[in-house]
Amino acid sequence: MDITKVLSWHSSGNSFEQLQESTKHPVDVEVASTVDSLASTENLEEEYVEPTLQRKCMAEFFATFILVGFGAGSVSQTVLSENELGNYTHITMCWGIAVMLAINIAGSTSGAHLNPAFTIVFCIYNHQFPWRAVPWYCLSQTVGAFFGFAAVYCMYFRAFMVYDPQCTIERGGRIFASFPQINETQFSAFVAEVLCSAFFMVGAFALGDPRNPHMIKPLVPVLTGALVVAVGMAFGLTTGYALNPAVDFAGRVFSSMAGWGSTMFTAYNNYWWVPVVAPVLGGWLGAGSYIIFIGNQPTRFKN
């Protein structure tokens, strides 16, 4: 028998099956591929494992480190160059970009809180987030911010020595932490920080509300960064809009160790506690106001 005919006869079954596949209706093929795609997505969801608390804290640490690296770096460059390589607008925009990057870094692992005020407020209004995670989140954010300041200080060490060799609050000290304007009292500064944080938290809850019909999840990091820029441009005059207790406190701790001493805590009538307490209180008021007026109880942020 001819070998060609044998091979042709042997493969005729496969050829017939291929012919059947090729003559299927395009809609059937599309439906089949869609079903396969949905099945694979369901398998991925079933295989997803919730990160451990340790992994989440590592993500908070690293994201806050990046946040402070960019943010404090922009402040340092602007101040140390005496506004030749930046101004206040550059600082606010860079802090917003830093927040956007940090959310993208840690969002899928820890939810990218980055801020003890947000962690505490979110836990108050959302009982699905465990209180046992709060101190670890806050500690991770503070330590990450500390090392962020350390990295920036190492990068600009020579410039710091030229700009502020005496390590004074009015020169280099304001790079590491927020202080009120001279004409502000401690009470007025506290009120300013509370209101500033309240405005920020209203915006943050609105952007993250899954029932917001205008919410576009991939744009949440970008819009949150824009929110930080808006807060800085609108409310930065009185106190420098601390917003984040971890960043402010870590900056004071590092700068006190780097040469500025205890004055970072005692200056302006022991002002240090205001940027720590006021953002939490303001965030609580802002989030509560959003829930009261809009009526949407916050749900847990899914990774």
* Block mean pLDDT (10 aa), the chain, length 303: 42 43 47 50 60 95 97 97 94 97 94 94 86 96 98 97 94 94 94 96 90 87 96 94 96 96 95 97 96 71 43
Q: Is 28 helix (H, G, I), strand (E, B) or coil?
A: helix
Please tell me the distance from the alpha carbon of residue 181 to that of residue 1, in angstroms, as a whole number: 101
Closest CA to 139 of 51, 53, 263: 53
pLDDT at residue number 213: 86
**CA atoms of 291 and 55, how far apart (whole Å):** 31
Q: Give DSSP secondary structure letters for 108-158.
A: TTT----SHHHHHHHHHH-TTS-GGGHHHHHHHHHHHHHHHHHHHHHHTHH
pTM for this entry: 0.82
What pLDDT sits at residue 128?
A: 78
C-alpha span between 93 and 112 (Å, rounded):
19
d(CA 238, CA 176): 17
- The answer for 269, left when phi > 0, alpha when psi is -120 to 50, beta otherwise, is left
How many angstroms separate the CA atoms of 81 and 218, rounded? Answer: 36
User: Domains of the chain, with CATH numbers?
Assistant: 3-47 (no CATH), 53-294 (1.20.1080.10)
